[in-house]
Structure 1
Amino acid sequence: MARLPYLERDDLPEPERDIFDTLLEQRGAIGNIFRVVAHSPLLLRRMLYFSDGLRNRTTLDPRYRELAILTVGRLTQCDYEYVHHQALAKRVGVRPEQVERLAEWETDPAFNDRERAVIRYATEVTQQVRVSDATFQALGDFLDNEQIVELSLNTGFYNMVVRFLLPMQVELEPDARD
C-alpha cells in the first residue's frame, strides 16, 4: 500500500483540478504516481511539463529513450516504471524480444551496438552516477550533442522518478499489465 493516499480529483483544491482533467484527456487514466505527486500540485504541474518535453519534444530516437527508461526500471527493480514503459517502448519500435531479454543486453543478438551503448550508458548512470569515458564516447559515434543531453536528462529524470516511486511504495494499477 502506498505511504500516502492516492488523491482523487475532488481532493485537489478547485484551481488545481484541471491537472487531473488534462491527464484524463491526454492519457485516458490518472496513474497512481500522479495521484501521489498531486499532494504537491505545483510540483505535479512542473513534473508533467518537463516529462512532456522529454517524451515529445526531443530529437532523440524514442527507441533509445525507452531502452534507457526500461534499463532504469529494471536495475532499480521498479515494476511500476518498467511495466508502464514496456508498452510504450513497443509502440515506438523496441522489439518485444528486446523488452523480454533486456537483462541479457550485453550478449543477446537482439541488440545492436548503438542500443548496447544506450543501455550501457543508462546502466552506468543508474548504478554509479558517473560514466566511463569509453561509454560516453560510444554515444558520440551516433548521437549529436543535443541527443546526448536528451538521453542524459531522460535517464536522470527516470532515476528521480523511481526514487520517488519506491520510497512512496506507489503500486502498479490493477490494469497496468494488460
Structure 2
Amino acid sequence: MARVPYLSPEDLAEADRDLLKRPITLHRALVNSPGMTRAFLGLGQHIRYGSRLDPRLRELAIIQVGYLTRSDYEYSHHTRLGLQQFGVTEDDIRAISRETDGEAGDGGFPELETAVLKAAREMVTDLGVSDATYATLERHLDREVVVDLIVTIGFYCGVVRILASLRIDVEDDYAPYLERFPFPERA
C-alpha cells in the first residue's frame, strides 16, 4: 500500500490537473507535490519523445533496470510498453533474465544491445559505466545519444527508488506481465 494517497484530478488545483492526463499510480502519488511532479514529468517526456536514443534500446535499458532492482512496477510497465510499442520481443525479455542471472551463454544480443544492457547493470550495481562498456557505446552511438542513454538509465535508477520508497502499487492491467515474466526466486 502506498505511503501517500493516490490523488485524482478533482483533488488538484485546476492548473495542476494536466499532471494526471496519464493517471497511473506513480503519477497519482507524485501529484502530492505538483511542482516536483511537473519537473519529473518534464524529464520523462524528453526521454520518451525528445531524445534521439532508439526507443527499443531505451526500453531494453529500462527493463534491465527494473529486472535487476526487482521493481515490480517499473519492470511490468516497461515490459508491456516494450512489447506493445517499441519492438521488444518475449525472447528479449527472457534473454535479459538469462544475462542478468548469469546463466550459461549470453542473451544473444548484438554488441550494441549487449553494451546497453551492461551499462544499465553497471549503473545499478556499480553506480557508473565501466571504461570498456563506455568505449563500446561510443563505437556505436554519437556523443549526444550516449549522454541520453546515461541520463535515461540514471533517471530510471531514481524512479525505482521513488517507487520503492513511496510503495507505489502496480495497476491490475500491468500485473499479468509479472506472471508472464517472473523474477527468479531468491535464494
Q: How does the TM-score come out when normalised to structure 1? A: 0.90
Alignment of 1:1-150 (within 5 A): 1-20=1-20, 22-23=21-22, 30-90=23-83, 91-105=85-99, 107-150=105-148
Which residue identity is paired with 1:174? D
Question: Unaligned stretches of 5+ in structure 2?
Answer: 177-187
Q: Distance in 2 between matches of 1:3 and 1:167?
A: 8
Cα distance in 1 between the residues matched to 2:14 and 2:45: 24
CA offsets, 1:6-65, max 9 Å, x none? 111111123212322x33xxxxxx110001100000111111121111111111111111
* Identical aligned residues as a percent: 39
Partner of 1:26: none
For residue 160 of structure 2, the aligned residue among 156, 159, 162 is 162
The 2-side partners of 1:36 and 1:58 are apart by 26
What count of residue pairs does the alignment treat as equivalent? 171
Question: What are the ranges of 5 or more consecutive residues in structure 1 without an aligned counterpart?
Answer: 24-29
Q: Distance in 1 between matches of 2:41 and 2:117?
A: 25
Give the distance between the partners of 1:150 and 1:134, measured in 2 at CA.
Answer: 18
The CA distance in 1 between the partners of 2:13 and 2:146, in whole Å, is: 39
User: Aligned Cα RMSD in Å?
Assistant: 1.4
Residue 165 of structure 1 aligns with an amino acid whose one-letter code is L
Assess, with a 3 A threshold, how the Cα gap between structure 1 residues 109 and 103 changes in structure 2: closer, same or farther. Answer: closer
Alpha-carbon separation, structure 2, partners of 1:36 and 1:158: 17
**Separation in 1 of the partners of 2:77 and 2:107?**
25
Displacement of 1:113 after TM fit?
1.5
- CA separation in 2, counterparts of 1:80 and 1:47? 17
Given that residues 97 and 110 in structure 1 are in contact (C-alpha distance below 8 angstroms), is that contact kept between their aligned partners in structure 2?
Answer: no
